[in-house]
Structure 1
Amino acid sequence: MKLAPILDPGARKPGPKPAQVDLHRVFFIGTTLWLIAGIICLILVLLGKHATGALIVCVAGMIIGVLLLIWEHFNRWYYRRLGNQK
């Protein structure tokens, strides 16, 4: 193990460049998966199965996903700018 990068920050290798990502797609796919799971849990609750706790978790996941989509809409240029740095 080399101690030079620990002791001398100038000896470190340069870090990787930031990757260009599309958070809208990630948040949308995640929210869609929570929606599908929520529909399945709702069907189970309507059939009399005890899936109320799972339904609450799915609804919470959908709410968080929608909030993240709203956040992404207003902050898109921040993370896009980071991915475009050279």
Structure 2
Amino acid sequence: MRFWLKDSERRPDPLPARANAQKAVAAGSAGWLVALVLAVVFRAELQAAGLGWWLWCAFIGLGLGLAALLFVLLRRR
């Protein structure tokens, strides 16, 4: 196996993979929503363990996910 090929020996680069950014961002946002709901449900336990910041982390993650979803939707138009 060689790590260096001459340009004449190289195959052409493959085309970029097509992906649906809207579905990917929506799935990530859904994950943050689940984390936020769980953080709210277990808020007392998280505060007692010194992990109260997890609630804010999930809240900010959901906010950024929704902003990214809005960006993807506007960019599509």
Q: What SS is found at the alignment partner of 1:16?
A: coil
Q: Identity over the aligned pairs, expressed in percent? A: 19
User: How far, CA to CA, are the matches of 1:2 and 1:38 in structure 2?
Assistant: 46
Query: Which has more helix, going by share of residues?
Result: 1
> What does 1:20-39 correspond to in 2, within 5 Å?
20-39=18-37
How many aligned residue pairs are there? Answer: 72
Tell me whether 1:69 sits opposite 2:48 in the alignment.
Answer: no
Q: Which runs of 5+ in 1 are unaligned?
A: 78-86
Q: Which runs of 5+ in 2 are unaligned?
A: none
User: How far, CA to CA, are the matches of 2:9 and 2:15 in structure 1?
Assistant: 18
- Structure 1 position 4, deviation (Å): 3.6
Question: What residue is the counterpart of 1:83 in the other structure?
Answer: none
User: How far, CA to CA, are the matches of 1:3 and 1:25 in structure 2?
Assistant: 38
- When the two chains are superposed, the root-mean-square deviation of aligned CA atoms in Å is 1.8
User: How far, CA to CA, are the matches of 1:28 and 1:2 in structure 2?
Assistant: 39
Please give the TM-score of this superposition, normalised by the length of structure 2. 0.77
| Runs of 4+ with >4 A deviation | none
